[in-house]
């Protein structure tokens, strides 16, 4: 008998647990629920706690996560107002605020992500088409309009998402920005040509400066040479004037002039330790015979 009572008790407990499972459900913090009766929403629950319902197929509870969800899109290409191709991705933060509408239009998180990606794709192309390339990439920070562009994309997406799907958009950011490969190649080519033009300008300026320095150096060289020649002529003139005095002495004393000339010649011939065999009567070696110098009577 005891075994029968135990079996009955276990069976009753299992039945109670099964009934509770069918007619009760629990909601935690940051959850929303919609209870449907024969497929139609009849109750919206937003507070955590234990709730009761009729078993399926009479009623069914749909529980949704009300916490913030993050969607990050893949790189997609679009055109700017000035016809430039850009590739960028966005990050979207959203949460469910109207579970009844969410259930009727979407029903689950995965479908919600796909629908929101479609919304962002639709509006971001239109927004980008109203802005210039320089509003995204520029050396002048006053041209950058990321905040404006993000807000212009977020506003229609948020309105559409809340109206159609019961979803609130908390933020929308541009997370990555790049250029298509062909555009990048064109930009690099343009940058290369620009650098070549700058280099050519610097080379031209350098050549002009070099020519200026050369011209100045040539002018200074010519001036120095001219001054040196003038000074040389002056020195030569002074030397000729001084030599003229000695020439007048030599003119009046020819034996002395001849003696000095022979002496100079002899010095030039014998300066390299030369061995010369000549007659002592040969000029200028005749000086070796006598050191006497005959002079005119008037210079004695």
- The DSSP secondary structure of 51-95, one letter per residue, reads EE-PPTTTEEEEEEE-S-EEEEPPPEEEE-TTS-EEEEEEEEEEE
pLDDT (average), residues 48-60: 83
Using the 3D structure, point to which of 131, 160, 179 is the last residue of a domain: 179
pLDDT (average), residues 211-225: 88
Whether residues 161 and 74 share a domain: the answer is: yes
Q: Domains in the chain: how many in total?
A: 3
Per the domain annotation, does 184 fall within a domain?
no
- Provide the pLDDT for residue 293: 46
Per the domain annotation, does 240 fall within a domain?
yes
pLDDT-derived band at 69, boundaries 50, 70, 90: very high
Residue with tokens 């002048």: 140
pLDDT (average), residues 191-196: 80
Whether residues 168 and 111 share a domain: the answer is: yes
Using the 3D structure, point to which of 65, 96, 113 is the last residue of a domain: 65
Whether residues 33 and 121 share a domain: the answer is: no
Q: What is the CATH number of the domain that holds 132?
A: 3.30.479.30
Whether residues 173 and 74 share a domain: the answer is: yes
| Gap between the Cα atoms of 41 and 101, Å rounded | 10
Per the domain annotation, does 210 fall within a domain?
no
Per the domain annotation, does 274 fall within a domain?
yes
pLDDT-derived band at 276, boundaries 50, 70, 90: low
| The model's pTM | 0.55
Per the domain annotation, does 102 fall within a domain?
yes
| Gap between the Cα atoms of 69 and 95, Å rounded | 6
The domain containing residue 18 runs over which residues? 2-65
Beta strand 49-52 with 24-27 is: antiparallel
Per the domain annotation, does 271 fall within a domain?
yes
Whether residues 233 and 255 share a domain: the answer is: yes
Whether residues 31 and 107 share a domain: the answer is: no
Q: Is pLDDT above 50 for 298?
A: no
- Highest mean pLDDT among 9-13, 184-188, 220-224 belongs to 220-224
pLDDT (average), residues 210-236: 87
pLDDT (average), residues 66-81: 88
Interval 100-152: pLDDT, tens: 999 999 988 899 999 999 899 888 888 988 988 888 888 888 888 889 999 99
Per the domain annotation, does 194 fall within a domain?
no
Closest Cα partner for 80 from 31, 137, 141, 35? 137
Comparison of pLDDT for 21 and 60, the residue scoring more: 60
Whether residues 89 and 164 share a domain: the answer is: yes
Which of 43-57, 201-215, 260-274 is least confident? 260-274
Whether residues 100 and 59 share a domain: the answer is: no
Using the 3D structure, point to which of 65, 88, 106 is the last residue of a domain: 65
- Provide the pLDDT for residue 299: 43
Per the domain annotation, does 204 fall within a domain?
no
Average pLDDT of the residues of the chain: 80
- Provide the pLDDT for residue 283: 59
Whether residues 77 and 57 share a domain: the answer is: no
Whether residues 27 and 51 share a domain: the answer is: yes
Whether residues 175 and 73 share a domain: the answer is: yes
- Provide the pLDDT for residue 249: 64
- Provide the pLDDT for residue 300: 42
Whether residues 32 and 77 share a domain: the answer is: no
């Amino acid at each position: 008998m005891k075994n029968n009572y135990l079996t009955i008790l276990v069976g009753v407990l299992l039945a109670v647990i099964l009934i509770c499972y069918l007619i009760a459900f629990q909601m935690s913090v940051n959850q929303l629920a919609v209870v449907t009766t024969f497929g139609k929403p009849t109750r919206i629950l937003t507070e955590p706690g234990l709730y009761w319902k009729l078993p399926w197929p009479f009623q069914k509870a749909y529980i949704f996560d009300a916490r913030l969800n993050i969607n990050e899109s893949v790189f997609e290409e679009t055109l700017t107002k000035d016809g430039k191709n850009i590739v960028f991705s966005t990050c979207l933060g959203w949460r469910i605020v109207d579970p009844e509408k969410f259930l009727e239009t979407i029903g689950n998180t995965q479908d919600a992500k796909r629908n929101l990606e479609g919304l962002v794709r639709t509006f971001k192309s239109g927004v980008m088409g109203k802005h210039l390339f320089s509003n995204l990439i520029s050396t002048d920070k006053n041209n950058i309009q990321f905040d404006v562009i993000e807000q212009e994309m977020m506003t229609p997406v948020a309105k559409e998402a809340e109206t159609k799907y019961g979803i609130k958009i908390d933020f929308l950011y541009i997370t990555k920005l790049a250029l298509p490969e062909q555009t990048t190649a064109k930009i690099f080519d343009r940058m290369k040509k620009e650098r070549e033009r700058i280099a050519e300008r610097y080379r031209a300026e350098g050549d002009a400066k070099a020519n200026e320095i050369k011209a100045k150096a040539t002018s200074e060289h010519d001036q120095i040479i001219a001054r040196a020649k003038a000074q040389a002529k002056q020195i030569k003139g002074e030397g000729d004037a001084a030599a003229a005095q000695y020439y007048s002495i030599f003119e009046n004393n020819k034996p002395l002039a001849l003696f000095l000339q022979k002496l100079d010649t002899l010095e030039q011939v014998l300066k390299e330790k030369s061995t010369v065999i000549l007659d002592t009567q040969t000029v200028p070696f005749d000086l070796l015979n006598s050191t006497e110098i005959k002079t005119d009577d008037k210079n004695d």
